[in-house]
Structure 1
């Protein structure tokens, strides 16, 4: 008996399903309310269920996998070419059904609840960092209008508080009070960010994979935890280069007539993790005293930022190798071809 393939278009309330009966060839289309999705698939024989990797996709993937189905998540930009007409729920479900049957289609690894929990901490921290950066920059600009120069960065807020005390006799009380409230908000954001980092550190102490990743030069707490949570299952990628391409750390290609031109990095995939790896690579090249022969030659013939991205690419490949093969980091390790 052939396995039935379902294309499931996710939504908040109304879900659309598309499938073809393998015995009769009849095309099935159906709308389901949110509370009807699980009972519908619970009464079906094990099948292939395809969904776009969008909001709530990993939750439904875990739910349907628990029912015995083979769930496959597809990136949204891989589904779009199969939409034949106007974008509707029915057209999207049919496009998902067609896309999942392509032999070379790539799928997104299903994340566990623990991995999504770690990503949640990272997303909240990232937003708090942006909010604090906005508040700090505004504080600098407002104090500068009154002739008070404050050192850059959140650490300069101590000088900002001192400047407010000095300006208390010359500025209106309502201005001083408002700026002090701004300082309190910055302090509260800093406290919240530190609390999230403590939670990540506590998780890292109990996770063996994170400990192994942090042995890589340029990989710290944030990079290690974000990498583990973002990758999901490392076996999804066939090689370290595929993982680096997933992060957008490989060159874009443009070619015709058999001639291929390499451009800048593609910048595809997860921006957050790519940024962390590039910052880690820059820290290594800035603070490390001794470099390998490869890095020495690279820095001698290429600009510094190009070398930073190249090192970030190498770090990404190393992360994949440690996770995919369960290895520990070895300085100077050289892979041997089979």
Structure 2
């Protein structure tokens, strides 16, 4: 489902194309409202974030709706990938018995899923940032330790103190600071 245009494919009896045209997204619902249909007429879409919106709108018009996972639709794609071929693949997949479908989400469910995904991304970003910050601080700490060790090695009092067990460059340099 594109943002500006949507390919609308309508099948009639014997699965023959009745309508197959790319429409501006703001014209889709008006066109669907004019199509003649039976009670068991179904709108099939490929599942994506926007598919829930379109399903809810189509159901307001009295259509039954179904969303199919992209991996299931891909198996029915013939020819190069374009909107018309994608629409045909969705229709083919939807006609299969026992086809996999995606449950329709309410606006509230979509909002909750968005918040959960945002939070997971935020936690991941914080973790990555914390790891980088820790690595940077560890590098600074190691560099300062090297400087202190070099200074301690050049100082007679510090060398004598470091000869005692448990005394290192940091402790050995402390009295002279």
Superposition TM-score, scaled by structure 2 size:
0.73
Q: Residue 123 of structure 1 aligns to a residue in which SS? A: helix
Partner of 2:83: 89
Q: Residue 82 of structure 1 aligns to a residue in which SS? A: coil
**CA–CA distance in 1 between the matches of 2:33 and 2:12?**
17
**CA–CA distance in 1 between the matches of 2:24 and 2:133?**
49
Gaps in structure 1 of 5+ consecutive residues: 1-9, 149-338
Misfit runs of 4+, over 4 Å: 23-27
Higher relative contact order (CA 8 A, sep 6+): 2
Partner of 2:4: 13
Distance 1:72 1:24, change over 3 A: closer
Post-superposition shift, 1:118? 0.8
Equivalences for residues 41-120 of structure 1 within 5 A: 41-44=32-35, 45=37, 47-120=41-114
Are 1:130 and 2:124 matched, yes or no? yes
Q: Residue 109 of structure 1 aligns to a residue in which SS? A: coil
Equivalences for residues 169-188 of structure 1 within 5 A: none
**CA–CA distance in 2 between the matches of 1:49 and 1:100?**
9
Give CA-to-partner distance per residue, 1:249-282, whole Å, 9 cap, x none.
Answer: xxxxxxxxxxxxxxxxxxxxxxxxxxxxxxxxxx
Distance 1:81 1:53, change over 3 A: same
Post-superposition shift, 1:42? 2.0
Q: Residue 66 of structure 2 aligns to a residue in which SS? A: strand
**CA–CA distance in 2 between the matches of 1:23 and 1:103?**
16
**CA–CA distance in 2 between the matches of 1:48 and 1:25?**
15
Q: Residue 84 of structure 1 aligns to a residue in which SS? A: coil
Give CA-to-partner distance per residue, 1:21-47, whole Å, 9 cap, x none.
Answer: 328945421111010011111223452
Q: Residue 108 of structure 1 aligns to a residue in which SS? A: coil
What is the CA RMSD across the aligned residues, in angstroms? Answer: 1.8
Superposition TM-score, scaled by structure 1 size:
0.39
**CA–CA distance in 2 between the matches of 1:81 and 1:132?**
39
Post-superposition shift, 1:17? 1.5
Partner of 1:196: none
Give CA-to-partner distance per residue, 1:37-73, whole Å, 9 cap, x none.
Answer: 1111122345200000113011111111111100100
Aligned length: 139
**CA–CA distance in 2 between the matches of 1:24 and 1:142?**
64
Partner of 2:153: none
